[in-house]
């Protein structure tokens, strides 16, 4: 007969479950969408511990690696770097406000004290291999960034 098409149902279910968990956490804790690094920001690795950013305290504001989820709020130190971690897919983000300066796609620096909003779209599923069923789901995201 014909070639059997393999579906990616477990991967799709896992992506939907992960999205539901992320959405459920939005708004319950202002720092649930990102983490700040206690290091000097001088590397590309994940060394050192990470702690959630607290929007109300400037002591925890430093470099941030953020996985975009709607409704998140993070704090970035003045002159520090915010890096969006999209995994696979589109690294474009739209910034409003003057508190951030875009360095490169998905990388911003805290330019002046204040707030800015980052928004965009992200893929919900990994890219399918040739011959596999593709998931073309996307989700919008928005993050409020406080620069202190």
Residue 2 belongs to a domain: no
Q: What is the sign, positive or negative, of the torsion defined by CA atoms of 45, 49, 52, 58?
A: negative
Per DSSP, the three-state class of 12 is helix
Tell me if the pTM is above 0.75: no
Q: Is 61 exposed, middle or buried (0-12, 13-18, 19+ CB in 10 A)?
A: buried
Can you give the residue range of the structural domain that contains 140? Answer: 9-39+51-147
Residue 102 belongs to a domain: yes
Residue 104 belongs to a domain: yes
Tell me the per-residue pLDDT of 62-97, one tens digit each, with 9 for 90 and over: 888 887 665 688 999 999 999 988 766 666 788 999
Residue 3 belongs to a domain: no
Is the per-residue pLDDT at 108 higher than 90? yes
Tell me how crowded residue 104 is: count the other CB atoms within 10 A of its CB.
Answer: 8
Tell me the per-residue pLDDT of 12-54, one tens digit each, with 9 for 90 and over: 545 555 554 444 433 333 333 443 333 333 333 333 223 333 3
Contacts of 74 (CB under 8 A, 6+ apart): 31, 33, 34, 36, 53, 55, 64, 66, 82, 143, 144, 145, 146
Number of separate domains in the chain: 1
């Amino acid at each position: 007969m014909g070639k059997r098409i393999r579906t990616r149902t477990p991967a799709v279910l896992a992506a939907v479950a992960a999205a539901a968990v992320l959405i459920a956490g939005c708004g319950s804790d202002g720092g649930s969408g990102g983490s700040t690094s206690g290091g000097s920001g001088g590397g590309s690795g994940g060394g050192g511990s990470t702690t959630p950013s607290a929007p109300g305290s400037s002591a925890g504001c430093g470099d941030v690696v953020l996985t975009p989820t709607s409704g998140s709020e993070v704090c970035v130190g003045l002159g520090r770097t915010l890096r969006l971690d999209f995994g696979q897919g589109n690294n474009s983000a739209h910034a409003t406000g003057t508190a951030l300066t875009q360095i490169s796609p998905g990388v911003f620096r805290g330019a002046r004290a204040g707030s800015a909003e980052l928004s965009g779209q992200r893929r919900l599923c990994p890219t399918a291999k040739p011959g596999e069923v593709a998931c073309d789901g996307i989700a919008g995201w928005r993050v409020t960034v406080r620069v202190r």
